Amino acid sequence: MRAEKQLLTKEYAARLNASPFFIVIGYQGLKVSHFSELRQRLQKAGAEVHVVKNSIFRIAAKEAGVAELNGSLAGQMAIVTGQKDISAAAKALKNFAAEFDKLKIKFGFLNNSRLEEAGIIALADLPSLDVLRAKILGLLVAPATKLAILINTPASQLAQVIKAKSEKT
């Protein structure tokens, strides 16, 4: 393998090791302007997309310890990686694919577990990580709020009874 290809392979292996997920997309027929828009949307979601030669990516994935790709790489492919949650990147890809029919979500890996297209779409339909955290916090705070209301109720009722008695006399 030539030195340039070895360098690219090491770069992609490092990128795969640094990211908790990657998603493989097919972009055949997509215009350059649309691909640039995809890059911008993914950047807002905390992810990035890179076009890579299939043979180089196959070797990089093997070096990164990713399970066998089983000949899944064919045609013009690009790899989406990121540091944030996979849900935001999947949501950006799903919305973009709905607008531009040329983009095809192939498969992905999340923590060395393979995800097919349906799994990635399911992740895209999940609420964002911040929304999930807020829901969990709300569930944790709700019992404490109810307890405070329950403890406070007899005292407020007693105060109302005393006030009513004082107004009668």
- The contacts found for 122-129 with CB under 8 angstroms, 24 or more apart, are 123/86, 123/87, 123/90, 124/87, 124/90, 124/91, 124/93, 124/94, 125/91, 125/94, 126/87, 127/87, 128/85, 128/87, 128/88, 128/91, 129/84, 129/85, 129/87, 129/88
Per residue in 43-92, pLDDT (tens digit) is 888 888 888 888 888 888 787 777 666 666 777 888 888 887 788 888 88
Please tell me the distance from the alpha carbon of residue 72 to that of residue 80, in angstroms, as a whole number.
Answer: 15
The ranges assigned to domains in the chain are: 3-126, 127-169
Instruction: Report in angstroms the alpha-carbon separations of 68 from 63, 97, 106, 112, 114.
Output: 11, 26, 15, 10, 10
Weakest mean pLDDT among 16-20, 33-37, 69-73, 117-121: 69-73
Please tell me the distance from the alpha carbon of residue 106 to that of residue 120, in angstroms, as a whole number.
Answer: 9
Which 8-state DSSP code applies to residue 67?
P
Cβ-proximal residues to 161 (8 Å cutoff; 6+ apart), any chain: none
- The pLDDT, as a whole number, for residue 2 is 78
Please tell me the distance from the alpha carbon of residue 123 to that of residue 143, in angstroms, as a whole number.
Answer: 30
Per residue in 117-136, pLDDT (tens digit) is 888 888 888 887 778 888 88
Architecture of domain 3-126: 2-Layer Sandwich (3.30)
Q: State the pTM of this model.
A: 0.70
Instruction: Report in angstroms the alpha-carbon separations of 66 from 62, 70, 112, 152.
Output: 6, 11, 6, 57
Q: Cβ of 103: how many Cβ atoms within 10 Å?
A: 21
Instruction: Calculate the average pLDDT of the chain.
Output: 81
